A and B are shown apart, each in its own frame.
Chain A
Amino acid sequence: MKRFAKHAIFYTTLLAIWVVLVKLKIWPAYVFPSPQGVLQSLRAGFADHSFWIAIAVSMKRMLLGYGLSVVLGMILGFGVASNKFLEETMGGLLVSLQSLPSICWLPLAVLWFGLTEKAILFVVVMGSLLSVTIAMETGRQQMPKIFGMAGRNLGARGFKLFWHVLLPASLPYIISGLKQGWAFAWRSLISGEMIFVSLGLGQLLMMGRDLNDMSQVIAVMILIVAIGYIVDGLVFKSIERRLQQKWGFAPVA
Protein backbone atom coordinates (compact mmCIF):
# COMPACT_ATOMS: atom_id res chain seq x y z
CA MET A 1 0.00 0.00 0.00
CA LYS A 2 2.84 2.33 0.89
CA ARG A 3 4.54 1.41 -2.36
CA PHE A 4 1.36 2.10 -4.26
CA ALA A 5 0.98 5.49 -2.55
CA LYS A 6 4.54 6.45 -3.52
CA HIS A 7 3.87 5.52 -7.11
CA ALA A 8 0.56 7.38 -7.13
CA ILE A 9 2.21 10.54 -5.83
CA PHE A 10 5.07 10.29 -8.31
CA TYR A 11 2.94 9.77 -11.39
CA THR A 12 0.36 12.37 -10.38
CA THR A 13 3.16 14.91 -10.01
CA LEU A 14 4.57 13.94 -13.40
CA LEU A 15 1.14 14.31 -14.98
CA ALA A 16 0.62 17.66 -13.23
CA ILE A 17 3.92 19.01 -14.59
CA TRP A 18 2.87 17.87 -18.06
CA VAL A 19 -0.52 19.60 -17.76
CA VAL A 20 1.09 22.81 -16.48
CA LEU A 21 3.59 22.82 -19.35
CA VAL A 22 0.76 22.40 -21.85
CA LYS A 23 -1.26 25.16 -20.16
CA LEU A 24 1.73 27.53 -20.37
CA LYS A 25 1.50 27.13 -24.17
CA ILE A 26 5.26 27.39 -24.65
CA TRP A 27 5.08 25.05 -27.65
CA PRO A 28 2.20 24.58 -30.11
CA ALA A 29 -0.05 21.55 -29.54
CA TYR A 30 1.30 19.62 -32.57
CA VAL A 31 4.80 19.73 -31.05
CA PHE A 32 3.89 19.16 -27.45
CA PRO A 33 0.57 17.32 -27.09
CA SER A 34 -1.63 17.42 -24.01
CA PRO A 35 -2.36 14.33 -21.85
CA GLN A 36 -5.96 14.47 -23.03
CA GLY A 37 -4.78 14.42 -26.67
CA VAL A 38 -2.62 11.37 -26.03
CA LEU A 39 -5.45 9.63 -24.21
CA GLN A 40 -7.70 10.46 -27.16
CA SER A 41 -5.19 8.93 -29.57
CA LEU A 42 -4.90 5.80 -27.43
CA ARG A 43 -8.67 5.43 -27.33
CA ALA A 44 -9.05 6.04 -31.07
CA GLY A 45 -6.23 3.66 -31.88
CA PHE A 46 -7.80 0.82 -29.95
CA ALA A 47 -11.28 1.71 -31.21
CA ASP A 48 -10.36 1.41 -34.89
CA HIS A 49 -8.28 -1.72 -34.12
CA SER A 50 -5.12 -0.24 -35.64
CA PHE A 51 -3.31 -0.55 -32.28
CA TRP A 52 -4.51 -4.11 -31.78
CA ILE A 53 -3.32 -5.09 -35.23
CA ALA A 54 0.03 -3.38 -34.71
CA ILE A 55 0.48 -5.11 -31.35
CA ALA A 56 -0.41 -8.48 -32.84
CA VAL A 57 1.98 -8.03 -35.77
CA SER A 58 4.83 -6.83 -33.58
CA MET A 59 4.32 -9.55 -30.98
CA LYS A 60 4.28 -12.23 -33.65
CA ARG A 61 7.62 -10.96 -34.95
CA MET A 62 8.99 -10.83 -31.42
CA LEU A 63 7.98 -14.38 -30.63
CA LEU A 64 9.46 -15.65 -33.87
CA GLY A 65 12.63 -13.59 -33.76
CA TYR A 66 13.29 -13.96 -30.06
CA GLY A 67 12.40 -17.65 -30.11
CA LEU A 68 14.87 -18.14 -32.93
CA SER A 69 17.64 -16.31 -31.11
CA VAL A 70 17.05 -18.26 -27.90
CA VAL A 71 17.36 -21.56 -29.75
CA LEU A 72 20.35 -20.44 -31.81
CA GLY A 73 21.91 -18.68 -28.83
CA MET A 74 21.64 -21.81 -26.72
CA ILE A 75 23.37 -23.92 -29.33
CA LEU A 76 26.04 -21.29 -29.96
CA GLY A 77 26.57 -20.42 -26.30
CA PHE A 78 26.81 -24.01 -25.13
CA GLY A 79 29.01 -24.84 -28.08
CA VAL A 80 31.39 -22.00 -27.33
CA ALA A 81 31.44 -22.80 -23.62
CA SER A 82 32.21 -26.47 -24.09
CA ASN A 83 34.94 -26.07 -26.70
CA LYS A 84 38.19 -24.47 -25.66
CA PHE A 85 39.16 -23.43 -29.18
CA LEU A 86 35.83 -21.77 -29.87
CA GLU A 87 35.86 -20.15 -26.44
CA GLU A 88 39.22 -18.52 -27.07
CA THR A 89 38.46 -17.41 -30.60
CA MET A 90 34.75 -16.86 -31.06
CA GLY A 91 34.21 -15.76 -27.45
CA GLY A 92 36.04 -12.49 -28.08
CA LEU A 93 34.30 -11.92 -31.43
CA LEU A 94 30.90 -12.33 -29.81
CA VAL A 95 31.64 -9.72 -27.17
CA SER A 96 32.96 -7.21 -29.68
CA LEU A 97 30.03 -7.80 -32.05
CA GLN A 98 27.65 -7.12 -29.21
CA SER A 99 28.71 -3.48 -29.20
CA LEU A 100 27.24 -3.15 -32.70
CA PRO A 101 23.73 -1.66 -32.60
CA SER A 102 21.48 -4.19 -34.27
CA ILE A 103 20.03 -1.65 -36.69
CA CYS A 104 23.45 -1.64 -38.41
CA TRP A 105 22.45 -5.03 -39.79
CA LEU A 106 19.46 -3.53 -41.60
CA PRO A 107 21.22 -2.46 -44.84
CA LEU A 108 22.57 -6.00 -45.16
CA ALA A 109 19.21 -7.46 -44.30
CA VAL A 110 17.42 -5.37 -46.92
CA LEU A 111 20.00 -6.33 -49.51
CA TRP A 112 19.70 -10.02 -48.71
CA PHE A 113 15.99 -10.32 -48.06
CA GLY A 114 14.46 -7.19 -49.62
CA LEU A 115 11.90 -5.09 -47.79
CA THR A 116 10.30 -8.17 -46.31
CA GLU A 117 9.28 -9.78 -43.08
CA LYS A 118 12.53 -11.76 -43.18
CA ALA A 119 14.63 -8.59 -43.11
CA ILE A 120 12.94 -7.44 -39.91
CA LEU A 121 13.25 -10.88 -38.35
CA PHE A 122 16.93 -10.88 -39.22
CA VAL A 123 17.44 -7.58 -37.42
CA VAL A 124 15.55 -8.84 -34.36
CA VAL A 125 17.60 -12.03 -34.27
CA MET A 126 20.86 -10.14 -34.66
CA GLY A 127 19.77 -7.77 -31.93
CA SER A 128 19.22 -10.44 -29.30
CA LEU A 129 21.23 -13.42 -30.47
CA LEU A 130 24.55 -12.16 -29.13
CA SER A 131 23.35 -11.30 -25.66
CA VAL A 132 21.54 -14.64 -25.41
CA THR A 133 24.66 -16.45 -26.63
CA ILE A 134 26.93 -14.67 -24.17
CA ALA A 135 24.45 -15.32 -21.36
CA MET A 136 24.36 -19.02 -22.23
CA GLU A 137 28.13 -19.18 -22.43
CA THR A 138 28.72 -17.54 -19.06
CA GLY A 139 25.82 -19.44 -17.53
CA ARG A 140 27.31 -22.71 -18.68
CA GLN A 141 30.63 -21.73 -17.11
CA GLN A 142 29.22 -20.41 -13.83
CA MET A 143 26.97 -23.40 -13.34
CA PRO A 144 28.47 -25.70 -10.69
CA LYS A 145 30.27 -28.59 -12.40
CA ILE A 146 28.77 -31.09 -9.96
CA PHE A 147 25.41 -31.10 -11.80
CA GLY A 148 26.93 -32.26 -15.05
CA MET A 149 28.90 -34.95 -13.26
CA ALA A 150 25.88 -36.10 -11.26
CA GLY A 151 23.84 -36.22 -14.47
CA ARG A 152 26.43 -38.34 -16.29
CA ASN A 153 26.78 -40.51 -13.23
CA LEU A 154 23.04 -41.21 -13.29
CA GLY A 155 23.13 -42.19 -16.94
CA ALA A 156 22.31 -38.95 -18.78
CA ARG A 157 24.10 -38.59 -22.11
CA GLY A 158 24.15 -36.24 -25.06
CA PHE A 159 20.89 -34.44 -25.65
CA LYS A 160 19.30 -35.90 -22.52
CA LEU A 161 22.15 -34.52 -20.44
CA PHE A 162 21.72 -31.11 -22.04
CA TRP A 163 17.94 -31.03 -21.76
CA HIS A 164 17.44 -32.57 -18.34
CA VAL A 165 20.55 -31.34 -16.55
CA LEU A 166 22.72 -28.67 -18.15
CA LEU A 167 19.88 -26.45 -19.30
CA PRO A 168 17.85 -26.40 -16.06
CA ALA A 169 21.06 -26.18 -14.02
CA SER A 170 22.20 -23.09 -15.86
CA LEU A 171 18.80 -21.38 -15.93
CA PRO A 172 19.36 -19.22 -12.81
CA TYR A 173 22.59 -18.02 -14.40
CA ILE A 174 21.12 -17.24 -17.80
CA ILE A 175 17.75 -15.78 -16.90
CA SER A 176 19.06 -12.20 -16.68
CA GLY A 177 20.75 -12.65 -20.05
CA LEU A 178 17.51 -13.97 -21.54
CA LYS A 179 15.74 -10.92 -20.17
CA GLN A 180 18.36 -8.61 -21.63
CA GLY A 181 18.01 -10.46 -24.93
CA TRP A 182 14.28 -9.81 -24.90
CA ALA A 183 14.85 -6.08 -24.30
CA PHE A 184 17.38 -5.92 -27.15
CA ALA A 185 15.03 -7.79 -29.46
CA TRP A 186 12.21 -5.42 -28.61
CA ARG A 187 14.35 -2.35 -29.41
CA SER A 188 15.64 -3.87 -32.63
CA LEU A 189 12.13 -4.70 -33.72
CA ILE A 190 10.81 -1.18 -33.21
CA SER A 191 13.78 0.35 -35.04
CA GLY A 192 13.40 -2.13 -37.85
CA GLU A 193 9.70 -1.45 -38.20
CA MET A 194 10.30 2.28 -38.32
CA ILE A 195 12.47 2.01 -41.41
CA PHE A 196 9.90 0.69 -43.84
CA VAL A 197 6.18 0.10 -44.18
CA SER A 198 5.60 -3.05 -42.26
CA LEU A 199 2.55 -2.65 -40.02
CA GLY A 200 3.61 -3.11 -36.40
CA LEU A 201 4.14 -0.59 -33.65
CA GLY A 202 7.27 0.95 -35.17
CA GLN A 203 5.41 1.85 -38.30
CA LEU A 204 2.55 3.30 -36.28
CA LEU A 205 5.09 5.54 -34.60
CA MET A 206 6.45 6.74 -37.94
CA MET A 207 2.93 7.27 -39.25
CA GLY A 208 2.34 9.64 -36.32
CA ARG A 209 5.43 11.54 -37.31
CA ASP A 210 4.40 11.68 -41.00
CA LEU A 211 0.98 13.00 -40.06
CA ASN A 212 2.49 15.45 -37.59
CA ASP A 213 0.37 13.74 -34.95
CA MET A 214 2.52 13.88 -31.81
CA SER A 215 -0.35 12.56 -29.71
CA GLN A 216 -0.19 9.32 -31.64
CA VAL A 217 3.61 9.16 -31.40
CA ILE A 218 3.46 9.47 -27.64
CA ALA A 219 0.50 7.07 -27.43
CA VAL A 220 2.51 4.43 -29.30
CA MET A 221 5.55 5.09 -27.13
CA ILE A 222 3.43 4.51 -24.04
CA LEU A 223 2.19 1.31 -25.61
CA ILE A 224 5.75 0.11 -26.30
CA VAL A 225 6.80 0.80 -22.72
CA ALA A 226 3.65 -0.86 -21.36
CA ILE A 227 4.18 -4.03 -23.38
CA GLY A 228 7.81 -4.23 -22.31
CA TYR A 229 6.73 -3.81 -18.70
CA ILE A 230 3.96 -6.39 -18.93
CA VAL A 231 6.19 -9.02 -20.53
CA ASP A 232 8.83 -8.41 -17.90
CA GLY A 233 6.27 -8.64 -15.12
CA LEU A 234 4.27 -11.58 -16.45
CA VAL A 235 6.88 -13.75 -18.07
CA PHE A 236 10.30 -13.07 -16.60
CA LYS A 237 9.25 -12.15 -13.08
CA SER A 238 7.21 -15.33 -12.79
CA ILE A 239 10.10 -17.45 -14.10
CA GLU A 240 12.39 -15.79 -11.57
CA ARG A 241 9.89 -16.36 -8.80
CA ARG A 242 9.58 -20.04 -9.67
CA LEU A 243 13.35 -20.41 -9.82
CA GLN A 244 13.64 -18.84 -6.41
CA GLN A 245 11.02 -21.20 -5.00
CA LYS A 246 12.85 -24.22 -6.33
CA TRP A 247 16.47 -23.24 -5.77
CA GLY A 248 15.94 -21.29 -2.58
CA PHE A 249 17.96 -18.33 -3.78
CA ALA A 250 17.38 -15.41 -6.10
CA PRO A 251 18.65 -15.94 -9.66
CA VAL A 252 22.05 -14.45 -10.35
CA ALA A 253 21.52 -10.96 -11.70
Chain B
Amino acid sequence: MTPNPATQAGYSGEHRSPARGASRWKIVVLHRDAESAAVPKLKLSGVSLSYQTNDGSRLLALDDIHLTVAPGEFLCIVGPSGCGKSTLLHLIAGLQSASSGNILVDEKPVAGPGTDRILIFQELGLFPWLTVAQNIEFGMKMKGISRAERQEKIEQYLRLVHLAQFKDSYTHQLSGGMRQRVALARALASEPDVLLMDEPFAALDAQTRDILHDELERIWAETGRTIVFVTHNVREAVRLGDRVALLTFRPGRVKREYAIDLPRPRHLEDVEVARTAREILDDLREEINKSLEEQYGHEAVR
Protein backbone atom coordinates (compact mmCIF):
# COMPACT_ATOMS: atom_id res chain seq x y z
CA MET B 1 0.00 0.00 0.00
CA THR B 2 1.35 3.39 -0.90
CA PRO B 3 1.22 5.91 1.90
CA ASN B 4 -1.23 8.67 1.27
CA PRO B 5 0.59 11.98 0.82
CA ALA B 6 -2.31 13.94 2.25
CA THR B 7 -2.14 12.23 5.60
CA GLN B 8 1.59 12.61 5.81
CA ALA B 9 1.84 16.24 4.97
CA GLY B 10 1.60 17.87 8.33
CA TYR B 11 2.54 15.07 10.55
CA SER B 12 5.49 12.84 10.96
CA GLY B 13 7.00 10.68 13.60
CA GLU B 14 5.14 9.61 16.64
CA HIS B 15 2.95 11.22 19.16
CA ARG B 16 2.47 10.51 22.78
CA SER B 17 -1.04 11.06 23.93
CA PRO B 18 -1.03 13.15 27.09
CA ALA B 19 -1.25 11.26 30.32
CA ARG B 20 -4.77 11.46 31.67
CA GLY B 21 -4.21 11.06 35.36
CA ALA B 22 -5.71 7.63 35.74
CA SER B 23 -3.31 4.74 35.65
CA ARG B 24 -5.43 2.35 33.64
CA TRP B 25 -4.83 4.33 30.49
CA LYS B 26 -1.46 3.51 29.28
CA ILE B 27 0.34 5.98 27.14
CA VAL B 28 -0.58 5.24 23.59
CA VAL B 29 2.00 5.65 20.92
CA LEU B 30 0.49 6.71 17.65
CA HIS B 31 2.11 6.31 14.30
CA ARG B 32 0.95 8.25 11.30
CA ASP B 33 2.31 5.52 9.12
CA ALA B 34 -0.51 3.01 9.19
CA GLU B 35 1.49 -0.16 8.61
CA SER B 36 3.53 0.14 11.73
CA ALA B 37 0.75 1.23 14.10
CA ALA B 38 -0.11 -1.02 17.01
CA VAL B 39 -3.70 -2.17 16.55
CA PRO B 40 -5.74 0.85 15.53
CA LYS B 41 -9.24 1.13 16.92
CA LEU B 42 -10.48 2.63 13.73
CA LYS B 43 -8.86 2.67 10.34
CA LEU B 44 -10.14 4.30 7.17
CA SER B 45 -8.28 3.58 3.99
CA GLY B 46 -9.08 5.11 0.65
CA VAL B 47 -12.64 5.92 1.62
CA SER B 48 -14.49 7.78 -1.12
CA LEU B 49 -18.11 8.62 -1.55
CA SER B 50 -19.86 10.03 -4.57
CA TYR B 51 -23.52 10.39 -5.19
CA GLN B 52 -25.95 11.34 -7.90
CA THR B 53 -27.17 14.92 -7.68
CA ASN B 54 -30.60 16.04 -8.82
CA ASP B 55 -29.32 17.25 -12.19
CA GLY B 56 -27.91 13.82 -12.90
CA SER B 57 -24.22 14.56 -12.46
CA ARG B 58 -22.11 12.74 -9.92
CA LEU B 59 -20.74 14.66 -7.00
CA LEU B 60 -17.63 13.47 -5.23
CA ALA B 61 -18.22 14.20 -1.57
CA LEU B 62 -15.31 12.39 0.02
CA ASP B 63 -12.13 11.54 -1.80
CA ASP B 64 -9.60 8.93 -0.73
CA ILE B 65 -9.78 9.49 3.02
CA HIS B 66 -7.09 7.82 5.10
CA LEU B 67 -7.35 8.09 8.85
CA THR B 68 -6.17 5.96 11.71
CA VAL B 69 -7.44 6.35 15.25
CA ALA B 70 -5.73 4.64 18.15
CA PRO B 71 -7.68 3.12 21.05
CA GLY B 72 -8.66 5.80 23.54
CA GLU B 73 -7.65 8.61 21.21
CA PHE B 74 -9.63 11.81 20.85
CA LEU B 75 -9.60 12.78 17.18
CA CYS B 76 -11.19 16.01 16.01
CA ILE B 77 -12.11 16.55 12.39
CA VAL B 78 -12.47 20.13 11.18
CA GLY B 79 -13.33 21.52 7.80
CA PRO B 80 -15.49 24.09 6.04
CA SER B 81 -19.19 23.39 5.77
CA GLY B 82 -19.86 21.11 2.87
CA CYS B 83 -16.63 19.15 3.19
CA GLY B 84 -18.45 15.98 4.11
CA LYS B 85 -17.49 15.83 7.78
CA SER B 86 -20.92 14.61 8.85
CA THR B 87 -21.07 12.18 5.97
CA LEU B 88 -17.77 10.71 7.08
CA LEU B 89 -19.24 10.01 10.52
CA HIS B 90 -22.32 8.43 8.96
CA LEU B 91 -20.01 6.14 6.99
CA ILE B 92 -18.12 5.12 10.12
CA ALA B 93 -21.43 4.59 11.93
CA GLY B 94 -22.50 2.32 9.07
CA LEU B 95 -25.63 4.33 8.31
CA GLN B 96 -24.38 4.91 4.78
CA SER B 97 -21.91 2.94 2.73
CA ALA B 98 -18.83 4.26 1.01
CA SER B 99 -18.43 4.12 -2.77
CA SER B 100 -14.96 2.70 -2.36
CA GLY B 101 -12.30 2.08 0.25
CA ASN B 102 -12.80 0.38 3.55
CA ILE B 103 -13.42 1.18 7.17
CA LEU B 104 -12.07 -1.14 9.82
CA VAL B 105 -12.98 -1.19 13.47
CA ASP B 106 -10.67 -3.45 15.44
CA GLU B 107 -9.49 -4.69 12.06
CA LYS B 108 -12.97 -5.86 11.13
CA PRO B 109 -14.73 -4.16 8.21
CA VAL B 110 -17.80 -2.10 8.99
CA ALA B 111 -20.94 -3.55 7.43
CA GLY B 112 -23.89 -1.55 8.65
CA PRO B 113 -24.66 0.02 12.01
CA GLY B 114 -23.29 -1.61 15.13
CA THR B 115 -23.34 -0.68 18.79
CA ASP B 116 -19.56 -0.72 18.92
CA ARG B 117 -19.82 2.69 17.20
CA ILE B 118 -22.43 5.11 18.46
CA LEU B 119 -23.04 8.36 16.68
CA ILE B 120 -24.33 11.44 18.44
CA PHE B 121 -26.15 13.28 15.69
CA GLN B 122 -25.92 17.00 15.20
CA GLU B 123 -29.67 17.23 15.81
CA LEU B 124 -29.31 14.58 18.54
CA GLY B 125 -32.31 12.47 17.55
CA LEU B 126 -33.43 11.97 21.12
CA PHE B 127 -36.74 10.15 21.26
CA PRO B 128 -39.41 12.62 22.39
CA TRP B 129 -41.86 9.88 23.34
CA LEU B 130 -39.46 8.52 25.94
CA THR B 131 -38.33 10.04 29.21
CA VAL B 132 -34.69 10.87 29.85
CA ALA B 133 -34.19 7.55 31.64
CA GLN B 134 -35.96 5.61 28.87
CA ASN B 135 -33.82 7.33 26.25
CA ILE B 136 -30.70 6.25 28.06
CA GLU B 137 -32.14 2.76 28.43
CA PHE B 138 -33.00 2.39 24.74
CA GLY B 139 -29.74 0.98 23.40
CA MET B 140 -29.43 -1.48 26.29
CA LYS B 141 -33.01 -2.62 25.72
CA MET B 142 -32.25 -3.28 22.06
CA LYS B 143 -29.21 -5.28 23.12
CA GLY B 144 -31.39 -7.41 25.38
CA ILE B 145 -29.70 -6.50 28.64
CA SER B 146 -31.70 -7.55 31.69
CA ARG B 147 -34.01 -5.07 33.36
CA ALA B 148 -32.09 -5.05 36.61
CA GLU B 149 -28.82 -4.34 34.92
CA ARG B 150 -30.44 -1.65 32.79
CA GLN B 151 -31.77 0.12 35.87
CA GLU B 152 -28.34 0.10 37.43
CA LYS B 153 -26.68 1.46 34.29
CA ILE B 154 -29.34 4.15 33.87
CA GLU B 155 -28.56 5.43 37.36
CA GLN B 156 -24.87 5.28 36.65
CA TYR B 157 -25.04 7.26 33.41
CA LEU B 158 -27.57 9.74 34.80
CA ARG B 159 -25.04 10.52 37.52
CA LEU B 160 -22.22 10.73 35.03
CA VAL B 161 -23.97 13.52 33.13
CA HIS B 162 -25.53 15.09 36.25
CA LEU B 163 -29.13 14.55 35.20
CA ALA B 164 -30.37 12.27 37.99
CA GLN B 165 -33.15 14.60 39.02
CA PHE B 166 -34.47 14.88 35.46
CA LYS B 167 -34.76 11.19 34.75
CA ASP B 168 -38.54 11.29 34.36
CA SER B 169 -38.65 14.44 32.25
CA TYR B 170 -39.40 14.39 28.57
CA THR B 171 -36.73 15.80 26.31
CA HIS B 172 -38.70 18.85 25.20
CA GLN B 173 -38.73 19.99 28.82
CA LEU B 174 -34.94 20.20 28.93
CA SER B 175 -32.55 22.96 27.91
CA GLY B 176 -30.18 22.54 24.97
CA GLY B 177 -27.24 21.69 27.19
CA MET B 178 -29.25 19.14 29.13
CA ARG B 179 -30.37 17.49 25.89
CA GLN B 180 -26.72 17.20 24.88
CA ARG B 181 -26.03 15.40 28.11
CA VAL B 182 -28.92 13.02 27.54
CA ALA B 183 -27.58 12.26 24.07
CA LEU B 184 -24.14 11.67 25.53
CA ALA B 185 -25.49 9.40 28.26
CA ARG B 186 -27.65 7.51 25.78
CA ALA B 187 -24.65 6.94 23.53
CA LEU B 188 -22.36 5.92 26.39
CA ALA B 189 -24.94 3.55 27.86
CA SER B 190 -24.55 1.33 24.80
CA GLU B 191 -20.89 1.12 25.84
CA PRO B 192 -19.49 1.72 22.38
CA ASP B 193 -15.79 1.38 21.66
CA VAL B 194 -15.95 4.40 19.42
CA LEU B 195 -18.03 7.47 20.12
CA LEU B 196 -18.78 9.55 17.05
CA MET B 197 -19.88 13.13 17.67
CA ASP B 198 -21.24 15.36 14.92
CA GLU B 199 -20.91 19.04 15.86
CA PRO B 200 -22.72 18.30 19.09
CA PHE B 201 -22.15 21.67 20.72
CA ALA B 202 -22.64 23.91 17.71
CA ALA B 203 -26.04 25.19 18.75
CA LEU B 204 -25.19 25.90 22.38
CA ASP B 205 -24.36 29.17 24.07
CA ALA B 206 -20.73 29.75 25.00
CA GLN B 207 -21.05 29.08 28.73
CA THR B 208 -22.94 25.83 28.27
CA ARG B 209 -20.40 24.76 25.70
CA ASP B 210 -17.51 25.46 28.06
CA ILE B 211 -19.11 23.33 30.74
CA LEU B 212 -19.80 20.51 28.32
CA HIS B 213 -16.22 20.60 27.04
CA ASP B 214 -15.00 20.08 30.58
CA GLU B 215 -17.50 17.29 31.13
CA LEU B 216 -16.74 15.57 27.86
CA GLU B 217 -13.04 15.65 28.66
CA ARG B 218 -13.71 14.24 32.12
CA ILE B 219 -16.05 11.53 30.81
CA TRP B 220 -13.58 10.61 28.10
CA ALA B 221 -10.88 10.23 30.74
CA GLU B 222 -13.19 8.23 33.01
CA THR B 223 -14.50 5.88 30.35
CA GLY B 224 -11.48 5.56 28.07
CA ARG B 225 -13.57 5.66 24.91
CA THR B 226 -12.18 6.43 21.50
CA ILE B 227 -13.81 9.62 20.25
CA VAL B 228 -14.12 11.02 16.75
CA PHE B 229 -15.44 14.54 17.08
CA VAL B 230 -16.52 16.61 14.08
CA THR B 231 -16.70 20.38 14.36
CA HIS B 232 -16.24 23.49 12.25
CA ASN B 233 -14.82 25.30 15.27
CA VAL B 234 -11.05 24.97 15.22
CA ARG B 235 -10.59 26.21 18.75
CA GLU B 236 -13.00 23.62 20.02
CA ALA B 237 -11.07 20.97 18.11
CA VAL B 238 -7.78 22.06 19.65
CA ARG B 239 -9.32 22.33 23.10
CA LEU B 240 -10.58 18.75 22.95
CA GLY B 241 -8.50 16.68 20.58
CA ASP B 242 -5.32 14.65 20.86
CA ARG B 243 -5.12 15.19 17.16
CA VAL B 244 -6.92 17.38 14.65
CA ALA B 245 -7.51 16.37 11.04
CA LEU B 246 -8.34 19.12 8.57
CA LEU B 247 -10.58 18.23 5.64
CA THR B 248 -10.58 20.12 2.35
CA PHE B 249 -13.64 21.63 0.75
CA ARG B 250 -15.47 19.46 -1.77
CA PRO B 251 -14.35 16.84 -2.32
CA GLY B 252 -13.38 16.21 1.29
CA ARG B 253 -9.80 15.04 1.60
CA VAL B 254 -7.52 14.95 4.59
CA LYS B 255 -5.45 18.06 4.02
CA ARG B 256 -3.30 17.89 7.12
CA GLU B 257 -3.21 16.40 10.56
CA TYR B 258 -1.99 18.18 13.65
CA ALA B 259 -0.89 16.54 16.87
CA ILE B 260 -2.09 18.56 19.82
CA ASP B 261 0.41 17.98 22.59
CA LEU B 262 -0.95 20.53 25.02
CA PRO B 263 -1.39 19.38 28.62
CA ARG B 264 -4.87 18.59 29.89
CA PRO B 265 -7.19 19.78 31.24
CA ARG B 266 -7.26 22.53 28.68
CA HIS B 267 -9.42 25.59 28.35
CA LEU B 268 -10.79 27.37 25.36
CA GLU B 269 -9.07 30.58 26.48
CA ASP B 270 -5.61 29.05 26.93
CA VAL B 271 -2.99 30.97 25.01
CA GLU B 272 -1.52 27.75 23.67
CA VAL B 273 -4.90 26.58 22.47
CA ALA B 274 -5.45 29.90 20.71
CA ARG B 275 -2.00 29.81 19.10
CA THR B 276 -2.41 26.27 17.80
CA ALA B 277 -5.89 27.05 16.57
CA ARG B 278 -4.48 30.06 14.74
CA GLU B 279 -2.11 27.86 12.75
CA ILE B 280 -4.82 25.45 11.77
CA LEU B 281 -7.18 28.27 11.00
CA ASP B 282 -4.78 29.66 8.42
CA ASP B 283 -4.94 26.37 6.57
CA LEU B 284 -8.67 26.17 7.04
CA ARG B 285 -9.19 29.66 5.67
CA GLU B 286 -7.96 28.54 2.27
CA GLU B 287 -10.66 25.91 2.22
CA ILE B 288 -13.31 28.30 3.43
CA ASN B 289 -12.38 30.68 0.61
CA LYS B 290 -12.75 27.84 -1.85
CA SER B 291 -16.21 27.14 -0.55
CA LEU B 292 -17.14 30.82 -0.74
CA GLU B 293 -15.85 31.04 -4.29
CA GLU B 294 -18.00 28.11 -5.24
CA GLN B 295 -21.04 29.67 -3.62
CA TYR B 296 -20.66 33.32 -4.58
CA GLY B 297 -18.19 33.33 -7.48
CA HIS B 298 -14.64 34.64 -7.52
CA GLU B 299 -15.47 38.30 -7.18
CA ALA B 300 -17.02 37.94 -3.77
CA VAL B 301 -13.86 36.60 -2.20
CA ARG B 302 -11.32 38.91 -3.73
Contact = CB atoms under 8 A, between A and B. Distances in A.
Interface residues of A, number: 22
Contact of A147 (B95, B113, B127, B186): B127
Interface in B160-194: 170, 172-173, 186, 190
B252 interface: no
A154 B129 contact: no
A157 B115 CA distance: 12
Nearest to B90: A149
Interface in A131-178: 146-147, 149-150, 152-157, 160, 164-165, 168-169, 171
Contact of B113 (A153, A169, A245): A153
B175 to A, nearest CB: 13
Contacts of A229: none
Given A152-B113, A154-B138, A247 B125 contact: no
B129 A149 contact: no
Contacts of A249: 172
Contact of B95 (A152, A156, A245): A152
B125 A146 contact: yes
Contacts, number: 65
Contacts of B190: 154-155
A248 to B, nearest CB: 3
A228 B119 CA distance: 46
Interface string A33-74: 000000000000000000000000000000000000000000
A224 to B, nearest CB: 34
A171 B129 contact: yes
A167 to B, nearest CB: 10
A39 B77 CA distance: 76
B143 interface: yes
A3 interface: no
Contacts of B138: 154, 156, 164
Given A152-B113, A155-B142, A155-B143, A165 B127 contact: yes
B123 interface: yes
Interface of A: 146-147, 149-150, 152-157, 160, 164-165, 168-169, 171, 243, 245-249
Contacts of A243: 129
B171 to A, nearest CB: 8
A249 B173 CA distance: 11
B118 A154 contact: yes
Contacts of B114: 155
Contacts of B71: none
A154 to B, nearest CB: 4
Contact of B186 (A154, A157, A168, A171): A154
Given A150-B125, A246-B170, 5 more contacts: A152-B113, A154-B118, A155-B113, A160-B142, A169-B129
B220 interface: no
Contacts of B139: 154-155
A156 B125 CA distance: 14
Contacts of A247: 128-129, 170, 172
B142 A248 contact: no
Given A169-B127, A169-B129, A248-B170, A154 B142 contact: yes
Interface centre among A152, A171, A247 (most CB of B within 10 A): A152
B195 to A, nearest CB: 12
A159 to B, nearest CB: 12
A27 B127 CA distance: 61
Contacts of A164: 138, 141-142
B11 interface: no
A248 B95 contact: no
Interface string B111-145: 00111001101011111110000000011011100
Contacts of A146: 121, 123-125
B135 to A, nearest CB: 10
Contacts of B118: 153-154
Contacts of B88: none
Contacts of A160: 142
B95 A153 contact: yes
6 contacts: A150-B124, A153-B121, A155-B113, A155-B143, A169-B127, A171-B129
B22 to A, nearest CB: 28
B93 interface: yes
A96 B139 CA distance: 41
A240 to B, nearest CB: 13
A78 B51 CA distance: 26
A155 B137 CA distance: 12
Nearest to A161: B142
